[in-house]
């Protein structure tokens, strides 16, 4: 059972990694990080 869970997590991780390498997604990630940093600095 643990092996199945680990395999699923690895598959999900690879999918996220592949998606994050696309230029349009990199722009979205950078914008989201900037937004979070801005909110954090306001506190």
The answer to whether the pTM exceeds 0.95 is no
- Tell me the three-class secondary structure of 3-18, residue by residue: HHHHHHHHHHHHHHHH
DSSP structure class, residue 22 = S
Write down the pLDDT at residue 39. Answer: 93
Q: Are 25 and 19 in contact (CB under 8 A)?
A: yes
Domain positions in the chain are 2-42
Confidence of residue 38 (pLDDT cuts 50, 70, 90): very high
User: Residues 1-31: pLDDT tens digits?
Assistant: 899 999 999 999 999 999 999 999 999 999 9
């Amino acid at each position: 059972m643990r092996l199945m869970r680990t395999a699923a997590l690895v598959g999900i991780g690879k999918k996220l990694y592949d998606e994050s390498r696309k230029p349009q997604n990199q722009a979205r990630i950078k914008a989201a990080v900037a937004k979070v940093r801005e909110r954090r600095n306001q506190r």
